[in-house]
Amino acid sequence: MGSRNGKFSVRSAYRLAQTTQEGGGQATSSEQSVARKIWRGIWSMNVPNKVKHFTWKVCRNILATKENLWKRKVTQEGLCEECGNMIESTTHLLWFCKQALAVWSHIVDRLLKWRDAFPDLMERVMMICWGIWRNRNEAKHGGKRKTEEFQVANEVRSKQEAQIREVVRWTGPKQGQYKVNCDAAVFTKSREVGFGVIIRDCAGLDVAALSKKRIGLTGAVKAEAKAMEVFVQFAKDVGIREATFEVKGIGDIPSSIQNIFYDIIQDLQTFRAAEVSHVKRQENALAHLLAQHALHVVDYNAWLDECPSFIEHTCAHDVIRFSTI
């Protein structure tokens, strides 16, 4: 079980989970020292604490799966609600259920290619597993399946990391300040536009996020201008007073939207410290995903001190890369 050097890996975690399950929740004495190293590996992962706890529960096989609830006589049966003919075990839910396979089928090849080049592979895998688990629970309570969003998030990340020779890293703001990123997405068919805003502190941790939709606004330049207006107002609403606002360049400002920029400048003057800078598309992936997500909301979704599930692994990857600078 596990790697001999105690390094935490996908394989060692899987073996630990299997051994613990087969042993009735207890590892044998010969495996305890290796298990302790693996547990330390879990708690030292560079991911949010809730994902560490989730990983710990996966390895202990104590997630509230249908199988475990059935064994505790909480439910009448342990069948997977998606498949209908398989027991919903932890491994089935995260790896072999049709919903999980729909996610993994799009990224497993890239994960295998990354395993030697990127030391944070385990963090990537567990962030995706956490997203599958959380979205499954959301769907049970009437939420939306987010398979496509998992795919979009991983496509954005793969495009970033395919350019290893020209790595672009998200960089944090000054100590005690915040960085605010925004993006706009134009949905031509529905004549709508989505705005995405992400606010992070100097450690790269999420402070707030926003997905907002507006009907009847078309045109990329005007949409980007309105996105800037939205993210300055959102920063004010959550109490941010010192921030760097990162935006994509929109070129020459047409006279038709100059009034929008005038209002933005007036709003920025109410901050104690405010700086506006240009950001490359690769550094703006989170705001882009939030803008795309706006297509699926009625008006807006806001998250405070919480990272939206569909961008968690992308956000964690930003933090991991930022911490290595």
14 shares its domain with 71: yes
DSSP 8-state secondary structure symbol assigned to residue 94: I
Region of poorest pLDDT, from 11-15, 51-55, 57-61, 153-157: 153-157
- The answer to whether residue 161 is domain-embedded is no
Give me the residue label for tokens 């994509």.
248
- Residues 28, 20: Cα–Cα separation, whole Å: 9
Reported as a single tens digit per residue, the pLDDT across 113-151 is 555 545 567 777 888 888 888 888 887 776 655 554 454
317 within 8 A of 157, measured Cβ to Cβ: yes
Query: How confident is the model at residue 315, as a pLDDT?
Result: 75
Reported as a single tens digit per residue, the pLDDT across 257-309 is 777 888 888 888 999 999 888 887 777 888 889 999 999 998 999 999 888 88
Record the pTM.
0.49
Joined tokens for residue 105: 């089928």
- Residues 45, 53: Cα–Cα separation, whole Å: 11
In the chain, how many domains are there? 2
188 shares its domain with 112: no
- The answer to whether residue 163 is domain-embedded is no
**Range of the structural domain that residue 16 is part of:** 10-145
Q: What mean pLDDT is reported for the chain?
A: 75
- The answer to whether residue 157 is domain-embedded is no
- The answer to whether residue 37 is domain-embedded is yes
Backbone angles phi, psi at 209, to 5 degrees: -145, 155
- Return the CATH number at 299: 3.30.420.10
118 shares its domain with 228: no
**Residue 273 Rama label (left phi>0; alpha psi -120 to 50; beta):** beta
Q: How far is CA 246 from CA 206, 249, 284, 297, in A?
A: 15, 10, 9, 24
Query: Is 50 exceeded by the pLDDT of residue 233?
Result: yes
Question: Which of 120, 145, 170 finishes a domain?
Answer: 145
Question: Which of 86, 121, 145 finishes a domain?
Answer: 145
Give me the residue label for tokens 């005007």.
222
Reported as a single tens digit per residue, the pLDDT across 69-113 is 999 888 888 898 887 878 999 888 888 888 888 877 777 666 665
- Residues 189, 193: Cα–Cα separation, whole Å: 10
**Cα dihedral sign, 102-107-108-109:** positive
22 shares its domain with 126: yes
DSSP 8-state secondary structure symbol assigned to residue 77: -
248 shares its domain with 298: yes
15 shares its domain with 141: yes
Question: Which of 101, 120, 145 finishes a domain?
Answer: 145
- The answer to whether residue 5 is domain-embedded is no
- Residues 290, 210: Cα–Cα separation, whole Å: 7
Q: Confidence band (pLDDT; 50, 70, 90) for 37?
A: low
Mapped onto helix, strand or coil, the DSSP state of residue 116 is coil
107 shares its domain with 202: no
- Residues 46, 58: Cα–Cα separation, whole Å: 17
111 shares its domain with 214: no
Q: Please give the full DSSP string across 247-265, using - where no structure is assigned.
A: E----S--GGGHHHHHHHH
133 shares its domain with 192: no
